[in-house]
Structures are given as structure tokens and as C-alpha cells.
Amino acid sequence: MPNIFFGRTKGGMMEFDEHESEHLKVVRAKEGQSIEVTDGNGIMYKVILRSIGKRKSYGDIIEAHRVEFPSKSLLKLYIGSSSWDRLRFVVEKAVEIGADEIVIYKGDRSRRDHTRKRRKLEIIIRDASKQCKRMLFPRLHLFSSLKNALDGESSNILILEQSGMKIEELQVDFESSYTLVVGPETGFSESERDFLKRIGIFLSLGRRILRFETAALVALSLFAFNMKKL
């Protein structure tokens, strides 16, 4: 499997942090070797490694060209903070499927608060993007509440809820932007439901009761496919 690395430009050079330096060592990259690097903003670089260190590594940029462009129609996923393993899984798969933005909020009924783990979540997004050769990384946002997270949201808001409108009855324009909202594993509070009723549509994916991560990925896949993000 080809290896893609993440780096930040520094003058005419590429700088790799400790996480990427470890990746370089794991795959036994050598100084003088040519590698492919992305900055997470849609640009692919050809880089010749100059030095591989414990905390920092460097390379010379030989070529650079844009391979991915921001989309006018955005697909956003809002996830209530839940158990770490399940949250990690859904974030990783959301990257692969094509979410443009990933928002994690602390719900009223969240048993865990992972909104302070920005660095860990960014690493998950980075590694998942590299694995699927995604050069334009999804943006990560963290909020202390659902209301704060959705404040000012202007795209179509769909709340995944088994008792909501049947998905086949929904009128969808896949050239528009959509926001998919899932609660934490313990669900929404009554005050959150009242708030969501005023700003969005509750949407059912079928007769089965799905875990929050399953519902998120099923809906995300449906929209990503039709919005040509897969």
C-alpha cells in the first residue's frame, strides 16, 4: 500500500511533526528518498527527505499541485460525545466516506466529554485521510453543547431519529449542503429535542433501531454517494 504523509510547509521545505516522524520510521523511509506528502488542504507535494529525527523531520519540496478542491455543497456530521471507542470509529469512517466537516458536541445526556481531546481527534482524522488518500482533510469543530454547535448553522439540518420522517419521503437537493445530527449513545434530552424541532427535520432510516454510529454512517453514506463525495 502506498504511503502518504502529512507535513507543513516551512519556506521551501516540508516539516514533519513527531507523529509523522514516527510514521516515517515505521515504514523505514530513508534520507534522500522521494515521498508523497499532503498539507491537508488539497495539495499534493513530492518531497525528498533531508533528515528524519525523533521529534521533527524535514524534506525538500520538489513539486506541488492541487488535487482536491473545496466543494460548494458541504456534508457535515454532528456527533454527540459518547464512549471513546465508538466515537473514534465513527470519526474514522466519516473521514473515509467523505464528510466535509465533523462536529463533536457534549450533549445533555453525554456520559463522556471528549470535546477537549482535539489533538487526539485531529490525529484520527489525519491518519484516516492518509489511509484513503484524501488530500483535503475534513474540518473538526468541538462544542460544549448542541445549541452552541448548531448556532448559526445555515444548511439543511436533518436529525437522525427512528421515530422521524421516513427517508423516502424527504425531498432532497443533493447540490445543497446538509447537516446530519446524531445524539450521543444515550440520546437527546427533552430540551435538546425541543430545540431541534425548531430548526430541523427528524429523519428515520427505517424500522430498525440503530446505534448512533450505525445511523450516522448509513445516512452519511447515502448523502455522500449522491453528492459525489465517495
| Full domain range(s) for residue 90 | 75-226
pTM exceeds 0.85 for this model: yes
Give the whole-angstrom CA distance, residue 229 versus residue 97: 7
| Cα distances (angstroms) measured from residue 18 to each of 15, 118, 180 | 10, 16, 34
Q: How many domains does the chain have?
A: 2
Residues 212 and 98 in one domain: yes
| Domain end call among 66, 91, 113 | 66
Spans of the chain, pLDDT less than 70: 1-2
Tell me the pLDDT tens digit for each residue of 1-48.
568 999 999 988 999 999 999 999 999 999 999 999 999 999 999 999
Q: Judge if 222 and 182 occupy the same domain.
A: yes
Angle at 219 between CA 121 and CA 103, to 5 degrees: 30
Distance CA 211, CA 100 (A): 22
- Return the bridge partners of 16, or none: 57
> Are 100 and 163 part of one and the same domain?
yes
Based on the fold, state whether residues 80 and 53 are members of the same structural domain.
Answer: no
Asked if 134 and 211 sit in the same domain, the reply is yes
CATH number where 26 lies = 2.40.240.20
Asked whether residue 103 falls in the same domain as residue 186, the answer is yes
